Amino acid sequence: MLRKNAIVGQSGGPTSVINASLAGVINGCIKAEEIDRVYGAVYGIEGVLNENIIDLTDKFSNEEELKLLKVTPASYLGSCRRKLKDEFKEIFDVFEKYDIGYFFYIGGNDSMDTVMKLSHYAKDNNIPVKIVGVPKTIDNDLEITDHTPGFGSAAKFVATTIKEIAHDADVYDKTLVTIIETMGRNAGWLTAASALARDGIIDAPHLIYLPEIDFDVEKFIDDIVALSKTRKNIVVVVSEGISDKNGEYILNLYKDTGKDAFGHTMLSGVCGILADIVKKRTGFKVKNVEFNILQRCCSHISSKTDCDEAFEIGTKGVEAALKGETGCMVYFHRTSNSPYACEVKSISIDKTANAVKLVPKEWITKEQNDVTKEFIEYALPLIQGETEITYENGVPKYTVR
Amino acid sequence: MLRKNAIVGQSGGPTSVINASLAGVINGCIKAEEIDRVYGAVYGIEGVLNENIIDLTDKFSNEEELKLLKVTPASYLGSCRRKLKDEFKEIFDVFEKYDIGYFFYIGGNDSMDTVMKLSHYAKDNNIPVKIVGVPKTIDNDLEITDHTPGFGSAAKFVATTIKEIAHDADVYDKTLVTIIETMGRNAGWLTAASALARDGIIDAPHLIYLPEIDFDVEKFIDDIVALSKTRKNIVVVVSEGISDKNGEYILNLYKDTGKDAFGHTMLSGVCGILADIVKKRTGFKVKNVEFNILQRCCSHISSKTDCDEAFEIGTKGVEAALKGETGCMVYFHRTSNSPYACEVKSISIDKTANAVKLVPKEWITKEQNDVTKEFIEYALPLIQGETEITYENGVPKYTVR
Residues B218, B248: one domain? Answer: yes
Q: Beta strand pairing status for A328-337 and A130-135?
A: parallel
Q: What is the mean pLDDT of residues A104-122?
A: 93
Q: How far is the C-alpha of A147 from the C-alpha of A384, rounded, in Å?
A: 14
Asked whether the beta carbons of residue B79 and residue A391 sit closer than 8 angstroms, the reply is no
Same-domain pairing of B28 and B145:
yes
Does a structural domain hold residue A358? no
**What per-residue confidence (pLDDT) applies to B353?**
58
**B80 touches A at CB < 8 Å:** yes
- Chain A hits for B385, CB-CB cut-off 8 Å, are 391, 394
User: Cβ contact (<8 Å) for A163 and B14?
Assistant: no
Distance of CA B160 to the CA centre of its chain: 17
pLDDT at residue A265 tops 90: no
A394 touches chain B (CB under 8 A): yes
The DSSP letter of residue A356 is: B
pLDDT in tens, A7-63: 999 999 999 999 999 999 999 999 999 999 999 999 999 999 999 999 999 999 999
- With a threshold of 0.90, does the pTM exceed it? yes
B393 with A201: Cβ contact below 8 A: no
**Cα B215 to Cα B220: distance, rounded to the nearest angstrom:** 8
Please check whether residue A128 is in contact with residue A99, taking contact to mean a CB–CB distance below 8 angstroms.
no
What is the residue-wise DSSP string for A16-32?
SSHHHHHHHHHHHHHH-
**Nearest chain B Cα to A401, which residue?**
B201
* Contact between chains at A300 and B164 (C-beta distance less than 8 A): yes
> For chain B, first and last CA: distance in Å?
31
Supply the range of the domain harboring residue B179.
Answer: 154-297
Please report whether residue B136 resides in a domain: yes
CB-based burial label for B368 (10 Å; 0-12, 13-18, 19+): middle
Give the gap in angstroms from C-alpha A150 to the nearest C-alpha of chain B: 14
The per-residue pLDDT for A175 is 96
Is the same domain home to B167 and B292?
A: yes
Whether B109 and B63 map to the same domain: the answer is yes
B75/chain A closest Cα distance in angstroms: 6
Q: Catalytic pick from A139, A223, A308, A370?
A: A139
From residue A283, alpha-carbon distances to A174, A290, A343, B290, B292 in Å are 12, 21, 51, 24, 21
Among candidates B314, B343, B286, which has minimal Cα distance to B145?
B343
The two most distant CA atoms of chain A are separated, in Å, by 75
The residues of B annotated as belonging to the active site are 139
Nearest CA to A179 among A123, A85, A250?
A: A250
Number of Cα atoms under 13 Å in the Cβ half of residue A160: 30
Q: DSSP strand E in A25-159: where?
A: 35-41, 53-55, 100-107, 130-135
3-state secondary structure of B121: helix
Q: What is the residue type of B105?
A: Y
Which residues in chain B are closer than 8 Å to A385, comparing Cβ atoms?
391, 394
Please name the residues between 250 and 279 in chain B that touch chain A, using a CB distance below 8 Å.
269, 272
Last residue of one domain, picked from the residues B280, B297, B314: B297
Residues B144, B8, single domain; the answer is yes
Using CA atoms, how far residue A258 sits from A137, A267, B286, B288, in Å, is 21, 8, 12, 15
Question: Which element (helix H / strand E) includes A309?
Answer: helix A304-322
Tell me if A23 is assigned to some domain: yes
Is A398 touching B (CB cutoff 8 A)?
Answer: yes
DSSP codes joined into one string, B138-171: TT--BSSSSS-TTHHHHHHHHHHHHHHHHHHHTS
Tell me which of A52, A165, A168 to substitute to probe the interface with B (most B C-beta atoms closer than 10 Å): A168
Closest CA relative to residue A174, chosen from A127, A231, A135: A231
The Cβ of residue A266 has, within 10 Å, a number of other Cβ atoms equal to 11
Q: Residue B148 in contact with residue B135, Cβ under 8 Å?
A: yes
Q: Are residues B115 and B243 in the same domain?
A: no
Q: Which chain A residues touch B393 with a CB distance below 8 Å?
A: 196, 199, 380, 383-384
- How far apart, in whole angstroms, are the C-alpha atoms of residue B346 and residue B341? 17
Compute the nearest-CA separation of A260 from chain B (Å). Answer: 11
CA nearest A377 in B: which residue? B393
Q: Which is it for strands B4-10 and B100-107: parallel, antiparallel or unpaired?
A: parallel
**CA-CA distance, A292 to A272, in Å (whole number)?**
13
Q: Give the pLDDT of residue B257.
A: 46
Range with lowest mean pLDDT among A168-177, A269-278, B302-311: A269-278
Residue in A395, A397, A399, A400 to test binding to B, most B beta-carbons within 10 Å: A395
How far from A383 is each of A152, A196, B252, B336, B393, CA to CA, in Å? 5, 9, 41, 42, 8
* A378 contacts chain B (CB < 8 A): no
The CA dihedral of A148, A151, A153, A159, to the nearest 10 degrees, is: -150
Q: Tell me whether residue B321 is in a domain.
A: yes
The count of C-alpha atoms lying within 13 angstroms of the C-alpha of B276, restricted to the half-sphere facing its C-beta, is 10
Are residue B164 and residue B235 in the same domain, yes or no? yes
What is the structure's pLDDT at A255? 61
- pLDDT tops 90 at residue A363: yes
The Cα of A16 is separated from the nearest Cα of chain B by a number of Å equal to 9
The alpha carbon of residue A55 is apart from the nearest alpha carbon of chain B, in Å, by 18
Q: How many CA atoms lie within 13 A of A223 on its CB side?
A: 20
**What is the number of structural domains in chain B?**
2
Q: Helix A18-31 crosses helix A304-322 at what angle (to 10 degrees)?
A: 40
Domain-located, residue B373: no
User: Can you tell me the distance from the alpha carbon of A274 to that of A181, in angstroms, rounded to the nearest whole number?
Assistant: 10
B380/A contact by beta carbon, under 8 A:
yes
With respect to residue B361, please indicate whether it lies within any of the assigned structural domains.
Answer: no
Residue A168, min C-alpha distance to chain B (Å): 5
Q: Residue B210 pLDDT more than 90? A: yes
The 3-class SS string of B209-262 reads ECCCCCCCHHHHHHHHHHHHCCCCEEEEEEECCCECCCCCEHHHHHCCCCECCC
Residues 281-310 of B with CB under 8 A from A: 287, 289-290, 292-294, 296-301, 303
pLDDT at B296: 95
Q: Are residues B18 and B119 in the same domain?
A: yes
Does residue B131 belong to any structural domain of this protein?
A: yes
Query: Does A164 touch chain B if contact means CB atoms closer than 8 Å?
Result: yes
**B294-310 tens-digit pLDDT:** 999 999 999 999 999 99
Residue A137 has pLDDT above 70, yes or no: yes
Q: Which of A297, A324, A340 is the last residue of a domain?
A: A297
Tell me whether A204 touches chain B (CB under 8 Å).
Answer: no
Residues B140 and B261 reside in one and the same domain: no
Which of A14, A293, A386 lies nearest to residue B287, judging by beta carbons? A293
Q: Are A178 and B74 in contact (CB under 8 A)?
A: no
In a domain, B281, yes or no: yes
Distance (Å, whole) CA B380 – CA B389 = 22
Q: Sheet with A130-135: list strands edge to edge.
A: A53-55, A35-41, A4-10, A100-107, A130-135, A328-337, A340-348
- Does A260 qualify as catalytic in the annotation? no
Which member of B272, B297, B303 has the closest CB to residue A167? B297
Per residue in A305-344, pLDDT (tens digit) is 999 999 999 999 999 999 999 999 999 999 998 899 999 9
- What are the chain A neighbours of B397 within 8 Å (beta carbons)? 199
Q: Binning pLDDT at 50, 70 and 90, where does residue A2 land?
A: confident
My answer on whether B210 and B91 are in the same domain is: no
When pLDDT is averaged across residues B111-130 and rounded to a whole number, the result is: 96
A230: pLDDT strictly greater than 90: yes
Q: Where residue A255 sits, what CATH number does that domain have? A: 3.40.50.460
**Pair type for strands B233-239 and B176-182:** parallel
Taking an 8 Å cut-off on Cβ atoms, the answer to whether B168 and A293 are in contact is yes
Q: Identify whether residues B207 and B336 lie together within a single domain.
A: no
Q: Which of B255, B282, B297 is the last residue of a domain?
A: B297
Quote the CA–CA distance of B312 and B372 in Å, as a whole number.
30
Cβ of A55 under 8 Å from any chain B Cβ? Answer: no
Closest by CA position to B40, among listed B75, B72, B65: B75
Average pLDDT, chain B: 94
Least confident of A201-205, B229-233, B272-276: B272-276
Q: Tell me, what's the pLDDT at A252? A: 81
Chain B neighbors of A299, CB-CB under 8 A: 164
Question: Residue B330: which CATH number?
Answer: 3.40.50.450
Alpha-carbon distance B152 to B193, whole Å? Answer: 9
Residues A195 and A290 in one domain: yes
